[in-house]
Chains A and B, each alone.
Chain A
Amino acid sequence: MANNNDQTASFMVRFSQKIYEDGKGDAQVQWRGKISHVQGGDKENFVEFSDAIQFIQTKLSELTKQATINKSPEEQEGILTRSLDIWKKLSATGAKMAIETIKDPRKGVAQIQEQISQVGEDIGQRLEIDEWLGAKKSDYNDLRDKLQQVTTQLASLHDKVDKLSKKKK
């Protein structure tokens, strides 16, 4: 069995808020971000969150490559295909859910529950969703972070599956 450390990627994201007045005297807000990959030590600054997602995606791809380095292309394809059924259902709403959870945690949790019921108990147990109903604000922040991780993993898997599909054709 592979060491868990070889199967784990952690990311630290820092957001700095800048509020300023534009030329017309209207208040504007700007977010500046910094994301770091804990296990590798790489860092990147960003303004658009999609750049942070791209950063995460790259690191996760590397992790998957490492984890499946000794497997045959067929086995790799099998792993990805089996994952696809679960991840595809979540991917369409993953990012939206994360944002709505930030805006309205309880509504977000309800949505997540609905999603979870669609993709089976396995994922439900992983996220321990029932425990979040009585959660504190900090718990919702944790949930938001986890959702962001899930979203990026989904995007990464999507890419891989698309590539595999193209190869097949």
Chain B
Amino acid sequence: MSGLDDRLSVLKEKQSSASLQVRTFGSFSAVVDGQSISSKTWGRDKTLQLFQFLITARSRSSLHREKIIDRLWEDAEKDEGDRNFKVALHGINKALEPNRPPRTDPKFIIRQGITYQINHEEIWIDAQAVEDYIAVANEARGTNDNIAISAYRSALECHSGIYLPNRIYEDWSSEERERLQVLILSAYISLAELMLKQQPLETVRLAQKAISIDNTWEDAYQLQMKAYLTQGNRPAAIKSYQQCVKVLDKEFGLDPLPETQEIYDSIM
């Protein structure tokens, strides 16, 4: 087995073996040892928000307590902020580990002095999985397209909507939402390209998914046109082009790129 194959297997294994599974796309859910945590168990919204904030900031090696308080309780005085943080953190630990014995360290949230971070060893997060799968896929592309296809597919299977939709108006989540959306769009395009010769209809489906996320993504229209052409479906290819022209004109007041025009010319 190649190194990339191993990495892919490890990622898939983690998805099923982690004791806490967190889904952030489409709608939020957390499942501990097979049991879904209800909103009643989370209690206060700030408890859930703190957990989602820690999930969002997962790539940071550790988060200073004061920085967290600044972001989530920005209007609170210091003592009030400290108290709110303590209550919310206690709420997280209680929701995730209701039977944790007293004076033992929490399993999922690691504390080091006044810094906090999530325990990556114990938690599977769909957003992180997407990133990891895409990293493997990008590396495999060109040298081992089968692994690339499998990894892109796994990444896209994890994606079921926008990142933390219940927090779209929260400043702290917007950067991650945007970053993930661009990552997902590029994965749809890459996979659509890889499928073009073997399964053009799959390319069409993937391109349409990309367009449903961002209707100005011109690469997706190009792939859709090429796939329809490969299928011999000239009217559908023309329709894709017309849709592209209409959208780009409406959104930017622009014509399609010469590359898109060339594909269209080849149809005519």
* Contact residues in B for A47 (Cβ distance below 8 Å): 252-254
- Of the candidates A3, A12, A20, A34, which one forms a contact with B258 in the assembled complex, judged by CB atoms under 8 Å apart? A20
A8 within 8 A of B: yes
Instruction: Report Cα–Cα, A106/B184, bound state, in Å.
Output: 35
A39 within 8 A of B: yes
Q: Of all chain A residues, which has the CB nearest B74?
A: A4
Instruction: Report Cα–Cα, A12/B174, bound state, in Å.
Output: 8
Instruction: Report Cα–Cα, A47/B257, bound state, in Å.
Output: 14
* Contact residues in B for A12 (Cβ distance below 8 Å): 174-175, 178
Q: Which A residues are within 8 Å of any B CB, using their own CB?
A: 1, 3-5, 8, 10, 12, 14, 18, 20-23, 30, 32, 34, 36, 38-41, 45-47
Contact A34 B216 (CB under 8 A): yes
B13 within 8 A of A: no
Q: Measured between C-beta atoms, what is the minimum distance from B205 to chain A in Å?
A: 23
Instruction: Report Cα–Cα, A1/B74, bound state, in Å.
Output: 13
Given known pairs A8-B171, A10-B171, A47-B254, the reply for A32 and B216 (CB within 8 Å) is: yes
* Contact residues in B for A36 (Cβ distance below 8 Å): 174
Q: Measured between C-beta atoms, what is the minimum distance from B215 to chain A in Å?
A: 10
* Contact residues in B for A4 (Cβ distance below 8 Å): 74-75
Please encode chain B, from 212 to 226, with 1 for each CB lying within 8 Å of some chain A CB and 0 for all others.
Answer: 001010100000000
Instruction: Report Cα–Cα, A116/B260, bound state, in Å.
Output: 48
- Of the candidates A10, A21, A39, A45, which one forms a contact with B216 in the assembled complex, judged by CB atoms under 8 Å apart? A45
Instruction: Report Cα–Cα, A14/B218, bound state, in Å.
Output: 15
Contact A20 B259 (CB under 8 A): yes
Instruction: Report Cα–Cα, A40/B171, bound state, in Å.
Output: 11
Instruction: Report Cα–Cα, A165/B182, bound state, in Å.
Output: 45
Q: Measured between C-beta atoms, what is the minimum distance from B187 to chain A in Å?
A: 16
Given known pairs A12-B174, A12-B178, the reply for A22 and B258 (CB within 8 Å) is: yes
* Contact residues in B for A14 (Cβ distance below 8 Å): 178, 182
Q: Of all chain A residues, which has the CB nearest B260?
A: A20
* Contact residues in B for A39 (Cβ distance below 8 Å): 169, 171
Given known pairs A4-B74, A8-B171, the reply for A18 and B257 (CB within 8 Å) is: yes
B168 within 8 A of A: yes
Contact A38 B169 (CB under 8 A): yes
Instruction: Report Cα–Cα, A34/B257, bound state, in Å.
Output: 18
Please encode chain B, from 181 to 201, with 1 for each CB lying within 8 Å of some chain A CB and 0 for all others.
Answer: 010000000000000000000
Q: Measured between C-beta atoms, what is the minimum distance from B52 to chain A in Å?
A: 16
* Contact residues in B for A45 (Cβ distance below 8 Å): 216, 251-252
* Contact residues in B for A1 (Cβ distance below 8 Å): 75
* Contact residues in B for A5 (Cβ distance below 8 Å): 74
Given known pairs A18-B218, A32-B252, A45-B252, the reply for A10 and B174 (CB within 8 Å) is: yes
- Of the candidates A8, A41, A46, which one forms a contact with B168 in the assembled complex, judged by CB atoms under 8 Å apart? A41
Contact A20 B257 (CB under 8 A): yes
Contact A46 B252 (CB under 8 A): yes
* Contact residues in B for A3 (Cβ distance below 8 Å): 75
Q: Measured between C-beta atoms, what is the minimum distance from A83 to chain B in Å?
A: 22
A3, A23, A32, A45: most-surrounded residue (chain B CB, <10 A): A45
* Contact residues in B for A41 (Cβ distance below 8 Å): 168-169
* Contact residues in A for B252 (Cβ distance below 8 Å): 32, 45-47
* Contact residues in A for B259 (Cβ distance below 8 Å): 20
Instruction: Report Cα–Cα, A18/B75, bound state, in Å.
Output: 43
Please encode chain B, from 231 to 257, with 1 for each CB lying within 8 Å of some chain A CB and 0 for all others.
Answer: 000000000000000000001111001
Instruction: Report Cα–Cα, A23/B257, bound state, in Å.
Output: 11
